């Protein structure tokens, strides 16, 4: 076997890459700082930071759901021929008058 063959070089690179991935997987699993390509360490985020990010994520998802509902209403208004929208507007105008009479 020739040590300079492309297959041997590729095998060394593959073994090194797999080893690096397994090392980082084990570190992440046990909560240690992760190692980057140049041997530096990436600190794990604090739990308070994670909690804040999760809360912000929840708020943003709620806003997204709200805006999605608004877009659905706007799409329905835009794609309607106008007949249905006019009748719904008139029904809404009549609704408070019915409640006031009670």
Domain ranges of the chain: 1-44, 45-102
Q: What is the pLDDT of residue 16?
A: 93
Count of beta carbons in the 10 Å neighbourhood of residue 30 = 7
Q: What is the pLDDT of residue 6?
A: 87
Given a contact cutoff of 8 angstroms between Cβ atoms, the answer to whether 1 and 8 are in contact is: yes
Given a contact cutoff of 8 angstroms between Cβ atoms, the answer to whether 42 and 36 are in contact is: yes
Alpha-carbon distance 81 to 78, whole Å?
8
Q: What is the pLDDT of residue 62?
A: 95
Q: What is the full per-residue pLDDT of the chain (102 aa) written as tens digits? A: 677 788 888 999 999 999 988 988 888 888 777 766 676 676 666 678 778 888 999 999 999 999 999 999 888 877 877 677 777 788 888 776 555 555
Contacts of 20 (CB under 8 A, 6+ apart): 35
Q: What is the pLDDT of residue 24?
A: 82
Alpha-carbon distance 18 to 61, whole Å?
37
Q: Which pTM value belongs to this model?
A: 0.37
């Amino acid at each position: 076997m020739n040590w300079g063959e492309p297959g041997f070089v590729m095998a060394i690179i593959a073994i090194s890459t797999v080893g690096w991935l397994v090392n980082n997987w084990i570190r992440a699993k046990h909560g240690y700082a992760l190692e980057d390509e140049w041997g530096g360490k990436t600190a794990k985020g604090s739990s308070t930071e994670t909690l804040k990010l999760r809360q912000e994520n929840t708020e943003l998802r709620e806003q997204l759901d709200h805006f999605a509902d608004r877009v659905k209403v706007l799409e329905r208004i835009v794609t309607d021929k106008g007949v249905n929208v006019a009748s719904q507007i008139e029904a809404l105008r009549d609704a408070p008058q019915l409640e006031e009479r009670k």
